[in-house]
Structure 1
């Protein structure tokens, strides 16, 4: 259950970052509220997963999902660069997240 909560928290972290972009520095109300809600929800679910998962593993997975997912959203939705080395780095982040899950004792 903790891994599921952590995965959802990671997805909410992606939504949070996207909401921040859309809020234009919290100058737009609806995207700003979306960013605040998803950010707080993400932190709440991360804290719930920390009841059973080691903090280092959970935090690394949470930030990895958020970083890689936000980069993918940037490429697919916002027109960010999809340079091969950038994509390779995203794949490496995801490989680290998967690796941490595979070697976790919980």
Structure 2
């Protein structure tokens, strides 16, 4: 389960790859892939080569992913209803 994330944190707060991965509940490698693909906005690199990601970018990415999942679920439910997979006869084992 992802750790609690305070979306009201200051816009300028920068997160490490490890912190971003914990918030998104994904691997560090996946966060690096997202960063390399430009899906997390402007990622800064420190003098020692460590990447820092804006907390706001992580919050935006997470919100977009949740919205996409909701939309996909709604589409799947509509398709299932259109195919009458939820009719009362099917629920009772009759076809």
Q: TM-score, normalised by structure 2?
A: 0.31
TM-score between the two structures when normalised by the length of structure 1 = 0.28
Larger radius of gyration: 2
More strand by proportion, 1 or 2?
Answer: 2
Higher helix share: 1
